[in-house]
Structure 1
Amino acid sequence: MKKILLSTAAVVATAGAALAGGVAAPVMEPVIAPVVVAAAPVGAWQGGYAGANLSWGKVGIDGYDDLDGAGIALRGGYDWQNGNTVFGLGADYDFGKQKADFVGGEQALKNAGTVFARLGYDANGWLPYASLGYTWAKMEGPVVNENVDGYTIGLGVERKFTPNWAGYAEISHTDFGNIDALGVDADMQKIKLGVNYRF
């Protein structure tokens, strides 16, 4: 009996010691949600931009062979946005030239600069637009050697790939009107592929 009492006391003492600290509450690690930095909306077009384009153009002079060739141009401008409507002003300058071999040497159109206004529609990162502008250039060669100018109309689409970078494609038609030296009309068509960095 004495042994049974001692054994029972030992068991109770051990259990009491084990429970002296009470039942430990489970430790919960705090859950920290990841911080997500929202990017600027891709469809926001308002602001300034600067970029460049590669182009191929053809100049037609009534009664003469066409001039053609590639160019590279710098472009810059500023857009305003109201809802989905985008209005902008811009300019570009083409360092290339359109040319052809005529009797007496090369006839070329070069140093073409354009100022333009454009109106577009924000279509969730795409910006189809129409433009109207004024272009001036130098016609130089054995047949015509004078400055020419005229109105330019264009159609294009610009696409944002990031909040700051966009690519665009554009076609344009320029009517230089009457060439004084020849008494005939001249015009130019261009296809442009370019990129803009938007501020």
Structure 2
Amino acid sequence: MKKSTLTIALAAALLSMSAAQASEFAGGFLGLKAGQNRSDRTSVAAKNATTYGFEGGYNWDVNSFLLGVGGFADYNQKATHATAIPGTFANYGTDAYGLDAKLGLPLGNWLPYAKLGYGSMRGTGVSLQGSANGAHVGLGVEYKFASHWSVAGEYTNMSSSSNGIRVNNDNFTVGLNYYFNEPSVAAAPAVAAVAVAQAEPVAAPVAAPEVSDTWKTLLSDKPVTLKGTNFDFDSAKLRPAADGKLKEVAEFAATYQDAKLDVSGHTDSTGSDAYNQKLSERRANAVKADLVKRGVASDRIVTEGYGEAKPVASNKTKAGRAENRRVEIRSVIKEETKVRVIQ
């Protein structure tokens, strides 16, 4: 009779897709920015002033590029400018509002981009009244430093003319953006317990008096793969979803008390080899520490870090990188089989 063998499959994998899936910068966002404005107008010298503003929009991935639309609001503070007439001055600031189209090239966590749009500029202060429309252009680079957060450095220019007076604004700002979309995560396969069907022993035929038969038990090694859990970017902290998976591993260890557990940590290709090696070891040790808390003896667990050396998916996509940020668990159990021996 062949004993039932429990094979535990614990979800492997996360964040990460084909080239058509979301980059780090796809989806809706809101941001605020601050920096320096340099403004000049007809017959008035340029002068620097502080500026702050807000923006928001939505980005889409199109092949290898990113296309977006967004609105902006800039509040350029007042400054006193020298005029062409000696001894006279002009004090003014401007508020600008409008819409931009964005074209970017996502490079992992980096996004260089250009903007082109149109808006309205309104003068503030006694020296500049009324409003006028004009083109709005910009260049910038953005860096995603957390799953929802990015920082951006940007240069923009907007000029408008009304009643023979031309106003020109150059803005240099640093901004902080919040992205609403959750990072794309590949769905983890459900934990499955697969029982191998039992084969009922075949009844022994009536033997001749001089022949006897017996049952003999044979033991053989059976490898078991317990795919562990995944991690957030640049993190060795266990996710809440890992709780149920590691509970299954602890139950497996309690059932097969002679089995050793080999725990291996892995990373994606972001960062240096040395840093990823240390990060993979921390991930393996985090899983070991959790299993020890669940009652698994420490000397039954062997940990190893492989850095980025053993990917299971492409590191060129966000989903692939998330799938590679993982810990895997393997073991070997004794499988017992009874066979009939005729003597």
Distance 1:54 1:118, change over 3 A: same
Name the larger-Rg structure.
1
Residue number in structure 1 paired with 2:170: 189
Residue 117 (1) aligns with residue 101 (2): yes
Distance 1:33 1:68 in 2: 63
Which amino acid counterpart does residue 113 of structure 1 have in structure 2? Y
List aligned pairs for 1:23-172, cutoff 5 A: 38=14, 43-100=23-80, 107-172=91-156
Offset, 1:83: 2.8
Name the one with the larger strand percent.
1
Which amino acid counterpart does residue 176 of structure 2 have in structure 1? V
Distance 1:37 1:105, change over 3 A: farther
Cα shift readout 1:8-61 (whole Å, capped 9, x = no counterpart): xxxxxxxxxxxxxxxxxxxxxxxx999777457894321000110012111111
Helix, strand or coil at the partner of 2:147: coil
Offset, 1:179: 3.4
Distance 1:63 1:101 in 2: 10
Which amino acid counterpart does residue 79 of structure 1 have in structure 2? N
Does structure 2 retain, via aligned residues, the 8 Å contact 1:78–1:88? yes
Distance 1:142 1:65 in 2: 17
Name the one with the larger helix percent.
2
Distance 1:166 1:37, change over 3 A: farther
TM-score scaled by length of structure 1: 0.72
Aligned residues: 167
Residue number in structure 2 paired with 1:6: none
Cα shift readout 1:135-179 (whole Å, capped 9, x = no counterpart): 322213444311122101110011111121111011011121x33
Does structure 1 retain, via aligned residues, the 8 Å contact 2:23–2:61? no
Residue number in structure 2 paired with 1:3: none
TM-score scaled by length of structure 2: 0.43
Which amino acid counterpart does residue 179 of structure 1 have in structure 2? S
Offset, 1:97: 1.7
Distance 1:97 1:40 in 2: 44
Residue number in structure 1 paired with 2:307: none
Distance 1:36 1:167, change over 3 A: farther
Which amino acid counterpart does residue 41 of structure 2 have in structure 1? I
Distance 1:141 1:44, change over 3 A: closer
Does structure 2 retain, via aligned residues, the 8 Å contact 1:115–1:133? yes
Distance 1:168 1:33 in 2: 42
Distance 1:111 1:175 in 2: 12
Does structure 2 retain, via aligned residues, the 8 Å contact 1:71–1:95? yes
Distance 1:76 1:160, change over 3 A: same
Cα RMSD after superposing both structures: 2.8
Could you say which structure has the greater relative contact order, defined with CA pairs below 8 angstroms and 6 or more residues apart? 2
Distance 1:98 1:34 in 2: 62
Which ranges of structure 1 fall in alignment gaps of 5 or more residues? 1-31
Distance 1:63 1:91, change over 3 A: same
Which amino acid counterpart does residue 162 of structure 2 have in structure 1? I
Which ranges of structure 2 fall in alignment gaps of 5 or more residues? 1-7, 181-343
